[in-house]
Structure formats: structure tokens, C-alpha cells
Amino acid sequence: MKNIFRKTKFLALLLAFCLVTPAFAYTTGSINYREVMMNYSKAKAAQSEIEDRANELQRFLLDKEKDFKKIESPIQKKTFEEQTAKAFAQKQDAYQKFKLKKEKEIDDAIVAAIKTVAIENKVDSVVDARVMFFGAVDLTDKVIKKLNTGN
């Protein structure tokens, strides 16, 4: 009788453990960050703005090179070089700040979307798809949709 009671108690404990185990399940999600960047409309627009600013720097240098060729005096050339170098450094600094600001805005938006999608899908952690080949829930399309629709 004691033996049957122990077996029943053990089976009840085992059954209870099996029912509770799913509550402790840990879900990992993955996203393809490159795909998110390529399909996020604001990221494309920001990249275009960054490229436009970089092209402006190139045009500035080309224009200054043309102006430099017109100068005949060595003293004027030296002064022109110094002024141009100073102006270019300021423009380059402004470009770098602009680029970093835009990249941070895009990255912050992507991270916020990832967090929201992870919570909505009951995913505990999210990794880049390049880190995990299988065994993770792919959230890439949901993150892209969240970013582009703003929902």
C-alpha cells in the first residue's frame, strides 16, 4: 500500500512538473539587421541624406581646386590653402556630426521596434540572425512592418 502511494505521489509530482515546465520556456528571436536596414524607408532616406552631404564635401573640394588654379601669387596660394583647409575641417566636422545623429536615430528606432515586436510575440531575447543559424523565431519581417507602418 505504501509503495502504491509513493508511486502515485511521484507520478503526481512528475505530472505537475511537466505542466509547469512550459511556463519556464525561454524563447529566442532573431532578426536580419541588414535586411531591416535595406527595407526600412527612413533608413534609406537617411542614407541618401548622408550621401548627399558627402557629395557636397566633394563638390566643395572640386570648386576650391578650380579656384586655387586661378591664383598666381604663392602668398595668396598659401593663404587660400589655409582658409580652405579650415573651412573644409569645419564642413567635415559638421558632416560627421550629422552622420552620427542620423545613424543613431535609425538605430534607436530599430531597437525600439525590435523590443516592441519581441514583447508582442512573447520573445525573451533577440539576436542577429548571423549569430544563430536555427532555433530562433525570425522576427525580421515583423520588425520591418512595424518600422514602416509605425504601428
- Provide the grid cell at 95: 558632416
What does the pLDDT read at residue 119?
A: 94
User: pLDDT tens string for the chain (151 positions)?
Assistant: 455 545 555 545 445 544 544 555 678 999 999 999 999 999 999 999 999 999 999 999 999 999 988 888 889 989 999 999 999 999 999 999 999 999 999 999 999 999 999 999 999 999 998 887 788 899 999 999 999 997 6
What does the pLDDT read at residue 14?
A: 47
